[in-house]
Structure 1
Amino acid sequence: MNNPTAANSHGFVPELEGLRGVAILLVLVSHFGLGPASLDFVSHLGLGHIGVRLFFVLSGFLITSVLLLDLDKASTGGISPSKVFYKFYASRTLRIFPIYYLTIILLYLIDFQGFRDISGWHFAYLSNLDGVRYITTDAGTILRHPSTAHFWSLAIEEQFYLLYPLLAVLLTRHTLFWVLCAAVAAAPAWRIFCIFILDPSYPHTGLMLLPGVMDSLCLGALAAIYQRGSLPIRQPMKKYIRTACTCCAIVASGLLVLYWQDTAVRLYLALFDSVLALICATVVILLVNLPGASRGSHFLRARNLRLIGRISYGLYIYHAFATHILSWLLLQVNMELQRETMLYTGLLYLMAFSLAYVSWHLIERPLLAFKPYVVSRLMTSKSVPPGKGTTQATGPQ
């Protein structure tokens, strides 16, 4: 494929790295705001929710692309599919575990805000299960540990990683396609069940468990299957993809109107994620397949945005602690700043980006240098010294 935006021989797509930058920026804006009195407004826009769903779609797309590529290489090279399985988990371990476990171990050692009481949930990647046990009151939801509440999405991805690679290795492409379609259809049904029947007092229960986000993850996976030409149905032309994206946008707008009118909030919560995930998956397909001359491609290929996407995993993990670190630093210099001012908000962003940037260069990047060596040991008989080869800087997957 002679397409400037398509994946190169290493499976790297610059636009997707930039898209990760967009996703993490949506999360940061929803948590930090944009200046005086903006935090409540941007929180109601649901930008963080959109950013997390975009992360899920990208994760489904990227890990499926890697798995299918490795399975094709294994079939042509006479390599056992089990090696693909082991290689996937070795790569994921190098990418995900180090800074996550370093963070929660540090929180445990200093017992940050009583973290030890719930540390077991986080060590076992069950933060989302603890999340649905939040205490709800008439005034709203009381988070048990607000600074680590965002780990629920990391737990969901890890739970998905435990199940999905096994299916991808064991099932045929045809069977995998229909299993993914069933999961996409089941997700909104699960959310409707949770929101209307299981726990009407807390609608987010259906959104914080793996079945409730399977449409986002699996639509990303289906986009990867489509990209590799492995769909058991006739592939639609690009104009039909654009039409589908437009229709989804119209439906999403209609659901959003219902939300703002407060007449069908629960139905909105149940259905909007599926529409949003379909839009995100369509955008991913268009970015990978269409020429890179569009304004969107140029924007996503911007150096600074791609850098943000590259360190997005660290940004997601550390950003919730920026407020506490900044407050401690201001206390050390006997300085007071009013919250939600431009200066205070700017310092929060600076703190979060500094933590993630240092983490990338001192921890994540050096560890990822061993990835080609691990891959070569598992997939071929020849080894490559650590630091050689090309690593895919696609951010958190």
Structure 2
Amino acid sequence: MSGDGPAARSLPWYPRLDGLRGIAVLLVFVEHFTYNEFIRNFSPGMIGVKTFFVLSGFLITSILLSERGTAPAASLARRFYWRRALRLLPAFWLAVALAAAIGIANMRSDAWLHLLYLSNVQIAIGEFWSGAGHFWTLSVEEHFYLFWFPIVILAPRRWLLPAVLAALVSAPLFRAAIPLGASPFIDVLLPGQLDSLAAGALLAFTVREPALAWLDRLLLRPAVVWGSLLLMLSVTWAPVVGLLHNEFIRWVLVPMLISAAGACLVRSCVAGKDPALAWLANPRLVHIGRISYGLYVFHYLVPQALYLVLPPVPEGALGMVFKIARLLLWIAVTFALAELSWRLIERPALRLKNRATPRPASPGTGVAG
């Protein structure tokens, strides 16, 4: 998950985007903390992750487009990757270190894989979910940064939009190999998630390119915004009506629809004009979005750590009470860790963003950092 927050971007702050990010991480919580097959059939975590990727594609592409041409590529690369490292590495390294120290998630043997952002490669090759399997999304993000920066910064301007469209098309084609017999685990690789990231990248172009003004106006129509919400709700009901029994619909069509719906919502949040979505700017929800990176990084490890100290689930009715109390404890500990991480590690690290790599600028092209 990308952790772009107000202190980390060279863009205006969009409170509703933080609220949407908060909703996305809570959807991941619902799937990972319930251990309920009925709820998992609705794939709330997939919707949350796809939304994160759309957000990341929009924010990263917007930053790169803003900085394109303002300095030599090497200088821009140092600045971009320095800021990404400051935003993403501190909490991630802390999570890996704590898991290794406690002895959970096979971290003592697998730490090097995660630190090299090969979590998704491990999953795809081994065809299993590890105890830190949620790190696959961080690997996808990192691979996207390595892949997307040189394209946006170095490619001729006329090639950029075709590159976005190619990414949009290539991911469904890649996932189409799954219904044809390929392992479903290839979905966690960057080519399998590129349409979500590219959908966000396309948004970054729609707000800048006059030729795409028609698409921007379309995305902002209330009917389209509310239609995207209904589309997401409809997709969650796909398992109930048996649609996901069709492998093509499950692996190719449904992810495309979620990405498209997520893009509509992100564009509406950036505009910030739809009164029906004003609740996304609620301060509590915005704060959840602000600490969502820490929430995501720690949440899958917390239950594994607490299993080491909690007693077994009692028999009978008391067992249900115990499970509810345990769930509340997982949530409380995760939020506490994320809050401490944000206040003591992540936010202080972000204050270093301009010290080693001052923002390159050319006359008349500066953007507030």
Q: Is TM (by shorter chain) over 0.5?
A: yes
Q: In structure 2, give the amino acid aligned to 1:80.
A: P
> Which residue of the partner structure matches residue 47 of structure 2?
50
**C-alpha distance in structure 2 between counterparts of 1:195 and 1:170, whole Å:** 36
> Which residue of the partner structure matches residue 346 of structure 1?
328
Compared with structure 1, are the counterparts of its residues 195 and 245 closer, same or farther at alpha carbon in structure 2 (3 Å cutoff)? farther
Shift of 1:258: 7.3
Per-residue CA deviation, residues 144-163 of structure 1 (Å, 9 max, x unaligned), is: x32x0101111011011111
- Report the 3-state secondary structure (helix = DSSP H, G, I; strand = E; otherwise coil) of the residue aligned with 1:198: coil
TM-score by length of structure 2 reads: 0.84
- Report the 3-state secondary structure (helix = DSSP H, G, I; strand = E; otherwise coil) of the residue aligned with 1:163: helix
Paired residues of 1:177 and 1:231 also in contact (CA < 8 A): no
TM-score by length of structure 1 reads: 0.79
Matches within 5 A, 1:175-254: 175-199=159-183, 204-227=184-207, 229-230=208-209, 232-233=211-212, 235-236=214-215, 238-239=217-218, 241-242=220-221, 253=234
* Structure 1 stretches lacking a partner, 5+ long: 1-7, 136-141, 382-389, 392-397
**C-alpha distance in structure 2 between counterparts of 1:111 and 1:323, whole Å:** 13
> Which residue of the partner structure matches residue 40 of structure 1?
37
Paired residues of 1:61 and 1:223 also in contact (CA < 8 A): yes
> Which residue of the partner structure matches residue 295 of structure 1?
276
**C-alpha distance in structure 1 between counterparts of 2:252 and 2:188, whole Å:** 12
Per-residue CA deviation, residues 113-159 of structure 1 (Å, 9 max, x unaligned), is: 53333333212101001112345xxxxxx53x32x010111101101
**C-alpha distance in structure 2 between counterparts of 1:50 and 1:190, whole Å:** 19
Paired residues of 1:173 and 1:230 also in contact (CA < 8 A): no
Shift of 1:255: 9.4
Paired residues of 1:21 and 1:306 also in contact (CA < 8 A): yes
Pair 1:65-2:45 in alignment:
no
Shift of 1:320: 1.2
- Report the 3-state secondary structure (helix = DSSP H, G, I; strand = E; otherwise coil) of the residue aligned with 1:197: coil
- Report the 3-state secondary structure (helix = DSSP H, G, I; strand = E; otherwise coil) of the residue aligned with 1:194: coil
User: Structure 1 stretch 165-174 or stretch 272-281: which is displaced more?
Assistant: 165-174
What is the percent sequence identity of the aligned residues? 32
Matches within 5 A, 1:1-397: 10-33=11-34, 39-71=36-68, 74=70, 79-135=71-127, 143=129, 145-146=130-131, 148-199=132-183, 204-227=184-207, 229-230=208-209, 232-233=211-212, 235-236=214-215, 238-239=217-218, 241-242=220-221, 253=234, 257=238, 260-261=241-242, 263-291=245-273, 294-297=275-278, 299-330=279-310, 338=319, 341-375=323-357, 377-379=358-360
Equivalenced residue count is: 349
Shift of 1:238: 2.6
- Report the 3-state secondary structure (helix = DSSP H, G, I; strand = E; otherwise coil) of the residue aligned with 1:282: helix
Per-residue CA deviation, residues 74-112 of structure 1 (Å, 9 max, x unaligned), is: 1xxxx3343222211110010011121232234345543
Compared with structure 1, are the counterparts of its residues 195 and 374 closer, same or farther at alpha carbon in structure 2 (3 Å cutoff)? farther
